[in-house]
Amino acid sequence: MTSAPVAITGMGCICAAGINLNDTMAALFSGCRAPAPPVSFTCSHLINYPVFEVQGFTPPPDLLRTCSLGLHAAREALADAGLDREFLDSIRVGVSVGTTVGSAMSNETFCRELRFGQQPDMTMLERIQRSNPAAVIAREFGFNGPCQTIVNACSSGTDAVGLAASWIRSGICDVALAGGADELGRITYIGFIALQITDDSPCKPFDLNRKGLNLGEAGAMMVLESEQVRAMRNKRARSFLLGYGSACDAYHLTAPKPDGAGLKSAIAEALACSNTDPGAVAFVNAHGTGTPDNDRVETQVLAELLPGVPFLSTKGYTGHTLGAAGAIEAVFTAACLERGEIPASIGFSTADPALRGNPLTRNTTFSGTIALSESLAFGGNNSVVILGKGGVT
């Protein structure tokens, strides 16, 4: 079934590389990155694993930091789209947000006190109960449309964008804010180290010496808009969401399927529903976490389905921002299409002969109008969005 393009009229993001989209894109093209040991928490591991923390962002304490990252990006995206409160009140607006931390009833201090019989009060958990990311955004802006917090681990952000496009197409809402948000914290940090997929040096996606990922944190949002609303306000689209596909490996809880079957299905679905010829894809924003398994499966699938198409990982600039990753990378993909240029895939220097392809090593201009962003997640989820260059129609 072919699906109609959905206009993206506003974007916003916050991550270690920058507190808004312009700053972040500038950092990506300057080739700068600054992973460092965590500042906001400490652990007793002998090694300090570098992370990508957002510096100088001190949100109010009443909500989870995750929500504040999401709200920050949402404000930028709405302003970018030129949508004011009064107009938004007159239409039906939906919110879909991907997250991992933003929905978990998980608080270490609370757990510690409980275990030691100190009868913790509910303040810590009540803060979580107030902090469901999609609900917080809908409440903050007074939206009354559909509202969904998606928790598909590392593909959540991609899925949130894909879902919002479905809402617009089916008329469930007129405008949707879609994206992802996740904060960095001790619990996730310890968890990923326990899984032994964390690099103790700055991550090196697709490199021979890659040892794993570095964690990051981010918020990223897109404004998706129906053609009726867009025509009403004569608004140019920054990009178009052309297609979305997702499929489950049904293979293992933490390991990707070696043949990449789920990722292949997801790419095939996204290409088919957007009627995109694989030859028209200008570049791929790969998941590219820098873990040995992920990068192997991904390059193999790309070599098979999109041979010769340039690809990159932006996780070398932002770290792996988990539930926000798919969203922020969709934003980057749209911004690169707009600019006609892709940044170098930072962290890569030595080709791995076992991989069927290498990422871009320098900032590269291109002339195409279509690009693909993909996410592979824990639980075997694979999700893909295809974006098109913006314009009036």
Partner 1 sequence: MQIAVQGIGVVGCFGAGVAKMRQALLTGAVSPAAFDLPGCGTPLAISAFRADTSSLADFVPLKALRRIDNFSRLGLLGAYLALQDAGVPAAEKQERLGVVIASGYGATGSTFAFLDSFINDGDICASPTYFANSVHNSAAAYISIMLGATGPSSTVSQFHHSVPSALQTACLWLAEGRVDRVLFGAIEELSELIGYAWHRQRGRADIPEMTPLLTGAESAIPGEGAAFLLLTRREESQGGYCLLDRVITGRHLKPGFLPSPLDLLVLGADGRIEKGGDYAKLAKKATVACFTSLYGSMPGSPAFDIAIAALMLKEGKTFDSPGSAVCDFPATVATGGESLKGCCVSCLSLSDDDGFGLINLSKG
Partner 2 sequence: MNTKEKLKKILIEDLNLEELTPEDIDDNAPLFGEGLGLDSLDAVELVVIIQKHFGIEIKNMEEGREAFRSVEALAAYVDQRLATT
Q: Which residues bind partner 2 (CB under 8 A)?
A: 194-196, 252-255
In angstroms, give the least distance from the CB of 253 to partner 2. 6
190 or 351: whose CB is closer to partner 1? 190
Q: Which is nearer to partner 1, 153 or 281 (CB)?
A: 153
Please, what is the minimum distance in Å from the beta carbon of residue 43 to partner 1? 5
Provide the token pair at 113. Answer: 């006190």
Q: Distance between CA atoms of 301 and 278, rounded to whole angstroms? A: 13
Residue 275 CB, nearest approach to partner 1 (Å): 15
Query: Cα–chain-centroid distance for residue 94?
Result: 18
Tell me how far, at minimum, the Cβ of 200 lies from partner 2, in Å. 10
In which residue are the tokens 């030129």 written? Answer: 82
Distances (CA, A) of 214 to 179, 245, 291: 21, 26, 10
| Nearer of residues 116 and 362 to partner 1, judged by Cβ | 116
Per the CB < 8 A criterion, the answer to whether 180 and 102 are in contact is no
* 303 binding partner (options partner 2, partner 1, none; Cβ < 5 to 8 Å by kind): none
In whole angstroms, the minimum distance from the beta carbon of 378 to partner 2 comes to 11
Encoded tokens for 19: 């507190």
Nearer to partner 1, 149 or 300 (CB): 149
The option from partner 2, partner 1, none interacting with 255 (CB < 5 to 8 A, set by class) reads partner 2
The nearer residue to partner 1, 347 or 380, going by C-beta atoms, is 380
**How many angstroms separate the most distant Cα atoms in the chain?**
64
106 binds, among partner 2, partner 1, none (CB under 5 to 8 A by kind): partner 1
Q: Which does 148 bind (CB under 5 to 8 A by kind): partner 1, partner 2, none?
A: partner 1
Q: How many CA atoms lie within 13 A of 301 on its CB side?
A: 28
H-state helical runs in the chain: 21-30, 65-81, 85-89, 108-115, 123-129, 133-141, 156-170, 186-194, 227-232, 261-273, 292-305, 315-318, 325-339
Taking the C-alpha atoms of residue 311 and residue 160, their distance in angstroms, rounded to an integer, is 23
Question: Residue 252 CA to chain centroid, in angstroms?
Answer: 22
Cβ proximity to partner 2: between 36 and 255 the closer is 255
Of 307, 314, 258, the closest CA to residue 285 belongs to 314
Binding partner at 36 among partner 1, partner 2, none, C-beta below 5 to 8 Å by kind: none
Least CB distance to partner 1 at residue 186 (A): 8
Whole-angstrom distance, CA of residue 35 vs CA of residue 50: 5
Q: From the list partner 1, partner 2, none, which binds 117 (C-beta under 5 to 8 Å, kind-based)? A: partner 1
39 binds, among partner 1, partner 2, none (CB under 5 to 8 A by kind): none
Nearer to partner 1, 78 or 335 (CB): 78
CB of 256 to partner 2, least distance (A): 11
